[in-house]
Amino acid sequence: MKVKLVEAAELVGGKIFGDSNFEINNIAKIEEAQSGDLTFLYLPAYEKYFTSTKASAILVKPNFTKSRNDITYIEVNDPNKAFFNILIHYFSPEFNLSGIDPSSFIHPSASIGKNVSIGKNVVISAGCRIGDNVKIFHNTVLLDDVVIGDDSILFQNVSIREKCRLGKRVIIHPGTVIGSDGFGFFSDDKGVYHKIPQIGIVIIEDDVELGANVTVDRASLGATIIKRGVKLDNLVQVAHNVVIGENTVISAQTGISGSAKIGNNCMIAGQVGIVGHIEISDNVILIAQSGVSKAITKPGQYFGSPAKEFKTALRLEAHVRNLPEYADKIKLLENQIKSLQEEIKKLSE
């Protein structure tokens, strides 16, 4: 879809600086945008991408330093809201689910590979491509343009939404959902929340295994990516635009917030919480129930909330456990000081 830049600017009440005589081909994140794309900049953490972005137009706050002459600027008070208003108005996806039959059904346009085993109550709709040796069990629902690689196994009640991509030898256990909408909303001036269309996809690379009741949200733009060899335990939440590096393992009840990037060969224990828009280095171990609130740039073990280097966290934990004893010692010292002060006073008299 092409959108005139002047119309998009008018929609959000923006002021154009630069060439306004072109049409927007697409919208994209600032680090992924290509020529003809519109992007936006609202967090300081993403300013590092401004000098290298290939976008043709960008939504910025007033008084933003316009140091590039090859890009058109649209000044708005809130680039984040303006971007999502343009997304909703011009680029919202249209879903057509009318071709899905509630009983077992394979759409004539679906491509089914060799040695495929299909159980009861399966729905495979238009545009699905199922590779060789795929086993699809009870109540699995696949929508448009899903690609599943060779030798993959999807157990009962797995849902894979439109346009998601699975590599070879992927194992997905019952109840897992791939490609659900990311948790994206923005509030207007009256405090009313509006849904931000989630038009990205999920890419799961080869040799990944996902436990039961895992949720991997589709990207708002671009892709949520689970790289080769990743293993996720039951009840793990992966938010939109997260990237999990190769051969990383994550235990149950861990939650990863949007746009976090986790490195290769990491080990994340149970009930860990990771905030959005941060990066975690390769070869990091996060101990159970840790809370990661900022980037981790060095390999090693981390623990606590907020997470700290493991040895430091253990020392702090030991001091916390000893606080009652410390309080008693401080009280004793205070009494001893008071007694000494009284003796000194008597001697001085």
What's the DSSP call for residue 182? P
Tokens of 93: 């996806």
Q: Please identify every residue annotated as catalytic.
A: 240
Residue 134 Cα to chain centre, angstroms: 28
What's the DSSP call for residue 314? H
DSSP, collapsed to helix, strand or coil, labels residue 44 as helix
CA–CA dist 192, 169 (Å, integer): 44
Where in 159-272 does DSSP place strands (E)?
159-160, 165-166, 171-172, 177-180, 185-187, 193-195, 201-204, 209-210, 215-217, 223-226, 231-232, 237-238, 243-244, 249-250, 255-256, 261-262, 267-268
Query: Which residue shows structure tokens 């599943």?
Result: 148
Cis ω on the peptide bond leading into residue 108 (within 30° of 0)?
Answer: no
- Is the distance from CB of 202 to CB of 243 less than 8 angstroms? no
Q: How far apart are the first and last CA of the chain?
A: 95
> What Rg do the C-alpha atoms of the chain give, in angstroms?
27
DSSP, collapsed to helix, strand or coil, labels residue 347 as helix
Type and span of the H or E element at 73: strand 72-75
Residue 245 Cα to chain centre, angstroms: 13
CA–CA dist 166, 228 (Å, integer): 11
Tokens of 258: 């949007």
